[in-house]
Amino acid sequence: MSVRVVARIRPLLKQELEKDTIVEAATTASEPLATPSIVRIPNPKNEAEAFSFQFNSVYDQVATQQQVYDNEIAPTVKHLFKGFDVTIFAYGVTGTGKTHTMRGGKLLAERGVIPRLLSSIYRRSRKIEKDSDGDTTVDVAMSYYEIYNDRVFDLFEAPEKRTPAGLPIRDNNGKTVVVGLTERPCTSLKDFETLYDQANVNRSTSATKLNAHSSRSHAVLCVKVTQVTGNEVRVSTASAIDLAGSEDNRRTDNGKERMVESASINKSLFVLAQCVEAISKKQNRIPYRESKMTRILSLGQNNGLTVMILNLAPVRSYHLDTLSSLNFANRTKKIEVNEVENRPFFRTAPKPESRIGIPSIPLANRQPLRPKALSHNVVPSREQAEKDKIEKPVKAFSVYSDKPKTATISRPGHLSGQGHPRTAEAQKRTSSEAVPTINRPSKVLKPTVPAKPETMSQQSIEALIERKVAEKLAEQALSSTKATLASAGTEISPDVQARLIALERRVIDQESARAEGLQYLLMAKQHTVRGEEVSALKMYQLALPYFPDNQKLAQKMLKLQEKITRKEESRRPKSSSGGVPLLEDEDYVPDTHDNYSADESVFTKPSARNTRPPIRRNLSVFRDEATTAPPQRQTNNDSDSEDELAHSLMHAGPDQTPRSKHILRIINSRDVAQIRLLKGVGAKKAEMIVNALCEMDDEVRHVGELGRLKGVGSKGVERMREGLIAMV
Ligand SMILES: Nc1ncnc2c1ncn2[C@@H]1O[C@H](COP(=O)(O)OP(=O)(O)OP(=O)(O)O)[C@@H](O)[C@H]1O
């Protein structure tokens, strides 16, 4: 079944004018009486021509919250209770109404998808319990987190208690889970609303030029529904994701902090677009791992039902961004999601007390990320698994079809009068407040045992520091300091604590700086893809201090500079008199020669002299008036070299010595027999390394990364290198 994609056009805001409206909902010519399923928008190059994008449904400016919920989300609830996971996510440019759609306002009619979904879940739970005469019980629990600057933070945790590096994520039996996340049971809608409102106070938001309450993070709410009948337990999860919106920073006037956030948001959305493109092209490698958001969303890899709500602004100022979103959505609707429900499992022993995300299955059973996962998130009993293997028919599941609807779907407004009005307006915390400061000790490093001076030698202190840092970097030992120290029977002095903290800060600083550099680089890449060379060059200049010795980057900048100069020269009027003065930045020139490719989620801005051949569009985007030539697409050779550069910077890290390369080759072979021959690595450690690699589902690309692997540490890497010298 494909991802269901529905578009919603928000109403005009106070400062927007009716005459600037360019986006409209329409019906297909063959079914003029059906509900709209087409978004129509003019071609930016030729206003007489319009592009049409077809989706499962389209909601116009007057659509209510209730209509969107009743038509799109309410039908998924029964599948949730049958064991299917449900993923709902809102996608769109900043200020297009994602948070409004997902969360909504306080008034009953203004409530968004999330509170309405919870309301339906509770109602259905009560009905199931009642109909089964109490044989079945349903428990609802929620976890809620945000992905801010590519770090995961628990929204139930106050910002000052957060670990600067955020929570680690892991692959657990084919699913991506956040380790150490709080899961709160909520027995009623009121409970839920109280928790949800409290948690939203912790979400990073701030005012930008484009949205007074702009979300600076992706927010992920997971609602776990557990149905227990006797020994049988069925668990399914509804995930509601309010993505942060992409931003065109020429329009935001963002300052440095907002720019960094914005770069991180844009990067993750860019990776998402790349994932969607890779999936639609059936490529083997889907770059999920290049951002936490894509890893968590795992679009096309998740099971169950997925609904994407594409939020659109109706006005001209969003023209290119809207086209870009429409192109993205157009590809997303073709992604197939596995129709696999979570099987029930049977309780044989009391549930172990665990935090979510801690894997409950042996390592050997873990599934690495891959384009399509057919695995389940629970451990079925052996008999049940055998039985299912034989008996389970393929589920004929056809809630949605890609065809346009033939009649208006109207469902009773079952929410009227059901909600509990919220009591307090959730206070949004600004993102500045959300930035985790590095001045406080992280959870891992908090003193947990009374200090006891003496006992440790300088060497063992060093070793302990290395171990702690490795654990920290590997983000594997969250909150486990107490246990680790207790089991080691070792106590550390305040002096060691202080050094640990200093070391951790240093590492975090280095990592943050590198991440910031990469963000500039990605922004440069985005600009280049759009043909905005001057802005791209500026971004490369900003990235340069982070990668001062990188030859490729320097060459790239040189080439770009030359290209800009050539362009400027070609634009300069031939005669010295008259002519239009050149603007400082070509990106701000209103260019009537913009090339737009409807098959691309980006726009290229080639020079006016572009003579490259047109490439025909091949998507289900059609024009109402085929009076003009099809839009041209610039064959963007730059984009390839961009990819190469980005890849080399993202993965190369510091220059590799022959010894490092040799070690990495051995490690990446994932061959326990070879790895155990490295100095300081026994059979157990070798196995641990291989498991960590399988869990990562990727290669280790430099020794820094290797040092971060569980159980290796930088000392471990040094030992391996020493071993190689000895061999030589
Ligand atoms: N359907 C709608 N009806 C009324 N107002 C709306 C609607 N959609 C959006 N708005 C208004 O538009 C503004 C921007 O909406 P919102 O904050 O939800 O955007 P967003 O896409 O979440 O932006 P960001 O990505 O920056 O967080 C808000 O003032 C919101 O109330």
Q: What is the pLDDT of residues 226-242, one digit of tens each?
A: 999 988 999 999 999 99
> Is the CB of residue 207 below 6 angstroms from any atom belonging to ligand 1?
no
The atom number, within ligand 1, closest to the CA of 61 reads 1
Q: What is the reported pLDDT for 532?
A: 77
Q: Which tens digit of pLDDT belongs to each residue from 140-164?
A: 999 999 988 888 999 998 888 888 8
Q: For residue 104, report the distance from its CA to the centre of ligand 1, in Å.
A: 9
Looking at 199-208, 450-459, 508-517, which range is the least confident one?
Answer: 450-459
Is 97 annotated as a binding-site member? yes
Confidence of residue 286 (pLDDT cuts 50, 70, 90): confident
Could you tell me the pLDDT band of residue 291, with boundaries at 50, 70 and 90?
confident
The pLDDT score that the predictor gives to residue 450 is: 41
Our answer on whether the CB atom of 113 is closer than 6 Å to any ligand 1 atom is no
* Atom 1 of ligand 1, nearest CA residue: 10
**pLDDT (mean) for 635-654:** 47
Domains of the chain: 4-391 (3.40.850.10), 438-570+583-652 (no CATH), 654-728 (1.10.150.280)
The contacts of residue 385 (CB under 8 Å, 6+ apart) are none
- How far is ligand 1, taken at its centre, from the CA of residue 15, in Å? 13
- The DSSP secondary-structure symbol of 371 reads S
Q: Answer yes or no: is pLDDT of 205 > 60.
A: yes
Q: Is 96 annotated as a binding residue?
A: yes
Contacts of 209 (CB under 8 A, 6+ apart): 251, 252, 253, 254
- Whether the CB of 244 sits within 6 Å of ligand 1: yes
Q: Which residue has the higher pLDDT, 307 or 662?
A: 307
One-letter amino acid of 96: T
Confidence of residue 690 (pLDDT cuts 50, 70, 90): confident
Cα(90) to centroid of ligand 1, in Å? 11
CB 324 less than 6 A from any atom of ligand 1: no
Band (pLDDT 50/70/90 cuts) for residue 663 is: confident
Least confident of 127-131, 165-169, 423-427, 688-692: 423-427
Distance from Cα 91 to the centre of ligand 1, integer Å: 12
* Pocket of ligand 1 contains residue 92 by CB under 6 Å: yes
Q: 11: Cβ below 6 Å to ligand 1? A: yes
| Spatial separation of the C-alpha atoms in residues 92 and 312, rounded to whole Å | 6
Q: Give pLDDT, residue 109.
A: 93
| pLDDT tens for each residue of 332-373 | 887 866 656 666 666 555 444 444 443 333 333 333 333 333
Indicate the top mutation candidate among 72, 200, 211, 430 to test ligand 1's pocket, ranked by most ligand atoms within 8 A of CB: 211
The verdict on whether residue 95 carries a ligand-binding annotation is: yes
| Least-confidence region, from 162-176, 178-192, 300-314, 351-365 | 351-365
Q: What's the confidence (pLDDT) of residue 486?
A: 43
**Which of the pair, 378 or 87, is modelled with greater confidence?**
87
Minimal-distance CA residue to ligand 1 atom 2: 10
Looking up tokens 């996340």, which residue turns up?
181
- For residues 102 and 671, the model is more confident at 102
What mean pLDDT is predicted for residues 255-260? Answer: 64
Asked whether the ipTM of the predicted complex exceeds the cut of 0.95, the reply is yes
Rounded CA separation 630/633 (Å): 9
pLDDT at 667: 87
Cα(688) to ligand 1 centroid in Å equals 47
Does the beta carbon of 104 lie inside 6 Å of ligand 1?
Answer: no
Of 12-26, 140-154, 501-515, which range is least confident?
Answer: 501-515
Question: If you average pLDDT over residues 566-591, what whole number do you get?
Answer: 48
pLDDT bin (cut points 50, 70, 90) of residue 668 is confident
340 vs 701, more confident: 701
In whole angstroms, give the CA distance from residue 118 to residue 669: 47
Q: Give the pLDDT confidence of 464-479 residue by residue, as tens digits.
A: 665 665 555 554 434 4
Task: Round to the nearest angstrom and report the end-to-end CA distance of the chain.
Answer: 57
- DSSP reduced 3-state for 265: helix
Highest mean pLDDT among 107-121, 536-550, 695-709 belongs to 107-121
Whether residue 92 is annotated as binding a ligand: the answer is yes
Q: Is the pLDDT of residue 247 over 70?
A: no
Closest CA to 448 of 491, 477, 489, 478: 491
State in Å: Cα 210 to ligand 1 middle.
10
Please report the atom of ligand 1 found closest to the CA of residue 63. 1
Question: From ligand 1's centre to the CA of 28, what distance in Å?
Answer: 28
Q: Which whole number is the average pLDDT over 610-619?
A: 33
Relative to the CA of 105, which ligand 1 atom is closest? 31
**Separation CA 505–CA 334 (nearest Å):** 44
Q: What percent of the chain has pLDDT over 70?
A: 58
CA of 8 to the centre of ligand 1 (A): 11
Instruction: Confirm if 170 and 181 have CB atoms less than 8 A apart.
Output: no
The dihedrals phi and psi of 156, each to the nearest 5 degrees, come to -85, 0
The arithmetic mean of pLDDT across residues 496-522, rounded, is: 65
Whether residue 215 is predicted with pLDDT greater than 80 in this model: the reply is no
Around 597, how many Cα atoms within 13 Å sit in the side-chain half-sphere?
Answer: 23
Task: Tell me, in angstroms, the distance from the centre of ligand 1 to residue 587's CA.
Answer: 28
37-77 residue pLDDT tens: 999 999 988 888 899 999 999 999 999 999 999 999 999 99
Say whether pLDDT at 633 is over 50: no
Name the one residue in this structure whose structure tokens are 């990446």: 668
DSSP H helices in 4-106:
65-68, 74-81, 98-102
SS3 content of the chain, % helix, strand, coil (to 5): 40, 15, 40
Q: Which helix (H) or strand (E) holds 327?
A: helix 319-332
pLDDT mean over 398-427: 36
Per the annotation, does 177 bind a ligand? no
> Shortest CA distance to 261 belongs to which of 359, 150, 342, 354?
150
| Percent of the chain scoring above 90 in pLDDT | 23
- Please, which pLDDT band fits residue 29 given cuts at 50, 70 and 90? confident
Atom of ligand 1 at shortest range from CA of 215: 27
**pLDDT at res. 723:** 79
Comparing 244-258, 472-486, 510-524, which segment has the lowest mean pLDDT? Answer: 472-486
Contact 285 CB / ligand 1 (< 6 Å)? no
pLDDT band per the 50, 70, 90 thresholds, residue 430: very low
In whole numbers, what is the pLDDT of the chain averaged over residues? Answer: 70
Say whether pLDDT at 202 is over 70. Answer: yes
What element of type H or E holds 144?
strand 136-148
User: Cβ(13) to ligand 1 under 6 A?
Assistant: yes
The pLDDT assigned to 618 comes to: 31
Distance, in Å, from the CA atom of 305 to the CA atom of 339, rounded to the nearest integer, reads: 7
User: Which of the given ranges, 56-60, 467-471, 487-491, 605-609, has the highest pLDDT on average?
Assistant: 56-60
Is there a contact between 631 and 593 (Cβ–Cβ < 8 Å)? Answer: no
pLDDT band at 574; cut points 50, 70, 90: low
- Please write down the HEC assignment for all residues of 172-227: ECCEEEECCECCEECCCHHHHHHHHHHHHHCCEEECCCCCCCEECCEEEEEEEEEE
Mean pLDDT of 532-551: 81
**pLDDT at 518 (0 to 100):** 76
